[in-house]
Amino acid sequence: MASDFRISVHRNSDSLHLKLMGDFDGSSACELTNVLKKSVNGVSRVFIHTNSLKNIHPFGRETFQQNLRDLKDFTDRISFTGEQACQIAPEKSSCL
């Protein structure tokens, strides 16, 4: 994992907000996937906020998009926000 990568998790009612901070590499992608797998039960929407990301490494993006296939039944409820949202979001995802 990138030494400065962190995920801030906030839940309100039926929504989960994940704020990504630091550099996004392959290990960071795996950490994000694990947080999603553990946290999606009981929520109807997940918002992944990207404004605090510094660098998105191509391998991190590819790793995340491949791992996201494990959540295929939930991906339509994930929205990506921020300046770098469309850089990590899979094609046909919601980038706000």
Would you say residue 33 lies in a domain? Answer: yes
Would you say residue 62 lies in a domain? Answer: yes
Would you say residue 64 lies in a domain? Answer: yes
CATH number at residue 62: 3.30.750.24
Would you say residue 61 lies in a domain? Answer: yes
As given in the structure block, the two tokens for residue 43 are 């929520």
Q: Is the pTM of this model over 0.85?
A: yes
Would you say residue 49 lies in a domain? Answer: yes
Q: Domains in the chain: how many in total?
A: 1
Burial class (CB in 10 A: 0-12, 13-18, 19+), 49: buried
**Which residue range is the domain that position 48 belongs to?**
6-95
Would you say residue 86 lies in a domain? Answer: yes
What dihedral angle (degrees, nearest 10) is formed by the CA atoms of 60, 62, 66, 75? 80
Q: Tell me phi and psi for residue 94, to 5 degrees.
A: -85, 115
Q: For residue 16, what are the CA distances in angstroms to 28, 57, 59?
A: 18, 25, 25
pLDDT tens per residue across all 96 residues of the chain = 456 899 999 998 899 999 999 999 999 999 999 999 888 888 899 999 999 999 999 999 999 999 988 777 788 889 999 989 989 988 766 676
Would you say residue 1 lies in a domain? Answer: no
